[in-house]
Amino acid sequence: MRDDIALELVSLARTFTLRRGLFGPAAELRAVDDVSLRLYRGETLGLVGESGCGKSTLAKMLLGLLDPTGGHVLIGGREIDPRERRAMARRIQPIFQDPYSSLNPRKTVAQIVALPLKLHGKGSAASQQTEVRRMLDLVGMPTRTHDQLPGQLSGGQRQRVAIARALILRPEILICDEPTSALDVSVQAQILNLLLDLKTEFGLSYLFISHNLGVVEHLADRVAVMYRGQIVELADRETLFERPAHPYTRRLLASALTPEPGLGLPEFAPPPVTN
């Protein structure tokens, strides 16, 4: 039923014009090519594929950072112009790969998390402070860190701040673009478990973008496989990992992911030794 659909992409496309040399002929690169997907309410949809397949370009269009050259984005069954950044920000928020570069190094933790409330005029100054403290507590940031700068925090703490900032406007959807790949393996487990807890707490829907199939298998309900700008396979998690249908998916699964004992998270196996 359409009421169950949080986010729908209909024939979404993005083309870039490239030119070889100053006087060379122009050529078109279809970074995202006729992508149609549905993200259901309360679902985590994994989006996987190798670097350069179009995953991040797709995420930027959903966040209004890039205009699509074709297709439509519907949130809750209603089309929203990607250029309406403020309207989209209230319903879709990102969590980026590198928490340090996504945080203002000159702002304190509390100021960073409060900024979306100020920009959107949500509540009084006192109510904003209360909401910021509550959100930071929910993501596991102790009170002593609220007045610290990002440079004084660990990588895991910075990502917790980024998550708190993403949730402060109470969005419906989070676009998680490689949110744990810049973290140590032991910290990855903590952040993934936090995302699972917050999904239940706020009734969120996640589009989880990653090249790490082990993390996607741990978190996702369904998985979409992207290759050269197109979705080549879409299936529930169990089906895709046990019975992949597309040759490209089978090649991804053959990339030798093995679990790290005791951590519950995957690590890439070392390459074979050749003589």
Instruction: Name the residue ranges covered by the structural domains of the chain.
Output: 44-68+84-259
pLDDT at 162 (0 to 100): 95
pLDDT at 83 (0 to 100): 66
Sign of CA dihedral 36, 207, 106, 85: positive
pLDDT at 265 (0 to 100): 42
Question: CB within 8 A of 207, min separation 6: which ones?
Answer: 7, 39, 45, 47, 59, 62, 173, 174, 175, 176
Q: Is 34 left (phi over 0), alpha (psi -120 to 50) or beta?
A: left
> What CA–CA distances, in Å, run from 117 to 51, 112, 168?
34, 10, 7
Q: Which of 41, 85, 18, 1 is nearest to 221 (CA)?
A: 41
The neighbour count for residue 71, using CB atoms within 10 Å, is: 17
Q: Identify the H or E element spanning 267.
A: strand 266-268
Bridge partners of residue 226, in order along the sequence: 231
Q: Can you tell me the distance from the alpha carbon of 81 to that of 93, in angstroms, rounded to the nearest whole number?
A: 16
- In CATH, what is the architecture of 44-68+84-259? 3-Layer(aba) Sandwich (3.40)
Question: CB within 8 A of 50, min separation 6: which ones?
Answer: 211, 227, 252
Q: Which of 217, 264, 261 is nearest to 236 (CA)?
A: 217
Find out whether 191 and 264 touch, Cβ atoms under 8 Å.
Answer: no
Task: Note the pTM of the prediction, 2 decimals.
Answer: 0.85
Residue at 63: amino acid letter? L
pLDDT at 2 (0 to 100): 63
* pLDDT tens for each residue of the chain, 275 residues long: 467 999 999 999 999 988 776 677 778 889 999 999 999 999 999 999 988 899 999 999 998 888 899 999 998 888 877 667 777 788 999 998 887 888 999 999 999 999 999 999 998 999 999 999 999 999 999 999 999 999 999 999 999 999 999 999 999 999 999 888 878 888 888 999 999 999 999 999 999 998 888 889 889 999 999 999 999 999 999 999 999 999 999 998 887 454 444 434 444 333 343 33
